[in-house]
Amino acid sequence: MSDKSSADILSRRKFLGAAGVAGAGVALGAKSALAEAAKPDPLITEVQDWNRYLGDGVQKTPYGMPSKFEKNVIRRDVSWLTASPESSVNFTPLHELDGIITPSGLCFERHHSGVAEINPADHRLMINGLVDKPLVFTMDDIKRMPRVNKIYFLECAANSGMEWRGAQLNGCQFTHGMVHNVMYTGVTLKTVLDEAGLKPNAKWLMLEGADAAAMNRSLPVEKALDDCLLAFGMNGEALRPEQGYPLRAVIPGWEGNLWVKWIRRIEAGDQPWQTREETSKYTDLLADGRSRKHTFIMDAKSVVTNPSPQAPLKFKGRNVLSGLAWSGRGTVKRVDVTMDGGRNWQTARIDGPVLEKSLVRFYVDFDWNGQELMIQSRAMDSTGYVQPTKDELRKVRGVNSIYHNNGIQTWLVRASGETENVEIG
């Protein structure tokens, strides 16, 4: 290890001395293979079944699934959150994933009237309102347009919303799992709008879904023409039904609710519509009783996914801290990590692609001596925005704004390695 390695810096810092939590090195259950090497390992010395007998043939699973040993890597819901599972949400298992691409089958779901089942041959997209020529497109029409491939995060406006009043849910899947990041294939929204021809007084668009909620939202025309897509593919294949098959809106960096699924209609107008999802919902109530509306952008945010309550530390010595950061305002420039509750910070190592309005993956490789840790991460984006603490956010907004909680998360790693969602003061 070089002197510059972050691990050495961390282990030398003795950051917890002042926190008064003298972990006396409690023995952990798991031991490394090296420690047990005195006795021959039967997994090596005895021939195993998979080393002797034939495995499955090539067509056993024409569409493959993960190993049965990964059966815990699933979306989970929180039944008390909502009155009905058809207007509800589930959560991406962030603590089980790595890199930046979310597997399609694990992307969190948020529906308002369940998953619409639509044969793409029956799907229509209408453009009407303030356009030169109202049009109807089939999916075949859309697939004849010039295509683009883009990787973006989609974060629900309500991600971490249950945490406004304090630590409530024990696991980053539940506190931060209303986010996913995939590669979309589709056409630019501009391509489709240009076919109809927007009139000069068209300032807003209304996007509408084909599901039973017929979800509708108003979108400023400048954003639509800037970087929005209509996507029919994700991660190289067709959209999953629960992600809007056969067609969805992609509104990079903006709150997930605007990414209308099963999109069937776009109307151009000269002012916003004030739909239910931009008045009753997705408005942010402040302490003085007034509410922000059109809070479209998702601000810079990050979370340490490992260790976390669902992924405790198992080993003393060498460990990998891993996490995700993202910003709706641009690219993630830097992620800092603290292990002593924000007293001292070090800059984490970002590995993998750093793309605009996409998740980035960060790591801190460190040695753990068994002392209690208070782990936090802090993202900075290309605009200079620095992820605030929850208390800093509460000072401006109070605790009733439901949406847009991008406050810094704290994990308490106890001497046993068990990890808890906590708030610190």
Which lies closer to other proteins via its Cβ, residue 220 or residue 352? Answer: 220
Query: Cα separations (Å) of 40 from 30, 327, 355?
Result: 18, 50, 47
373-381 vs 360-368, strand pairing mode: unpaired
Q: Is 85 in the site for other proteins (CB under 8 A)?
A: no
Residue 262 beta carbon to other proteins: minimum distance, rounded to whole angstroms: 13
Residue 115 beta carbon to other proteins: minimum distance, rounded to whole angstroms: 14
In angstroms, rounded to a whole number, what is the distance separating the alpha carbons of residues 158 and 399? 13
Within 209-268, the residues that bind other proteins by CB under 8 A are 212-216, 264-265, 267
Q: Is 96 in the site for other proteins (CB under 8 A)?
A: no
Q: Point out which span in 39-47, 276-284, 311-319, 356-364 binds other proteins (CB under 8 A).
A: 276-284
Of 193, 380, 413, 415, which lies in the binding site for other proteins, with binding defined by CB under 8 A? 380
Q: Is 145 in the site for other proteins (CB under 8 A)?
A: yes
Q: Is 425 in the site for other proteins (CB under 8 A)?
A: yes
Residue 393 beta carbon to other proteins: minimum distance, rounded to whole angstroms: 8
332-338 vs 346-347, strand pairing mode: antiparallel
Number of residues that bind other proteins (CB under 8 A): 107
Which residue type occupies 216? Answer: N
Q: Is 183 in the site for other proteins (CB under 8 A)?
A: no
Q: Is 71 in the site for other proteins (CB under 8 A)?
A: no
Q: Is 72 in the site for other proteins (CB under 8 A)?
A: no
In angstroms, rounded to a whole number, what is the distance separating the alpha carbons of residues 412 and 422? 6
Which residue type occupies 280? Answer: S
Our CA angle for 164, 165, 167, nearest 5°, is 90
Q: Is 101 in the site for other proteins (CB under 8 A)?
A: no
Of 8, 28, 74, 76, which lies in the binding site for other proteins, with binding defined by CB under 8 A? 76
Which lies closer to other proteins via its Cβ, residue 100 or residue 210? Answer: 210
- Tokens 């969805």, located at residue: 248
In angstroms, rounded to a whole number, what is the distance separating the alpha carbons of residues 264 and 210? 5
In angstroms, rounded to a whole number, what is the distance separating the alpha carbons of residues 205 and 258? 11
Residue 86 beta carbon to other proteins: minimum distance, rounded to whole angstroms: 8
* Two structure tokens written together for 45: 């010395």
Which lies closer to other proteins via its Cβ, residue 290 or residue 314? Answer: 290
Within 389-418, the residues that bind other proteins by CB under 8 A are 392, 396, 400, 402, 412
In angstroms, rounded to a whole number, what is the distance separating the alpha carbons of residues 82 and 347? 38
Of 2, 3, 4, 20, which lies in the binding site for other proteins, with binding defined by CB under 8 A? 20
Which distant-in-sequence residues (6+ apart) come within 8 Å of 364 by Cβ? 6, 7, 10, 320, 321, 337, 346, 348, 349
Q: Is 295 in the site for other proteins (CB under 8 A)?
A: yes
Residue 218 beta carbon to other proteins: minimum distance, rounded to whole angstroms: 9
Q: Is 51 in the site for other proteins (CB under 8 A)?
A: no
Residue 44 beta carbon to other proteins: minimum distance, rounded to whole angstroms: 39
DSSP letters spanning 313-329: ---SEEEEEEEEEE-TT
The region that residue 230 occupies, defined by phi over 0 for left and psi between -120 and 50 for alpha, beta otherwise, is beta
Of 285, 350, 354, 355, which lies in the binding site for other proteins, with binding defined by CB under 8 A? 285
In angstroms, rounded to a whole number, what is the distance separating the alpha carbons of residues 135 and 62? 39
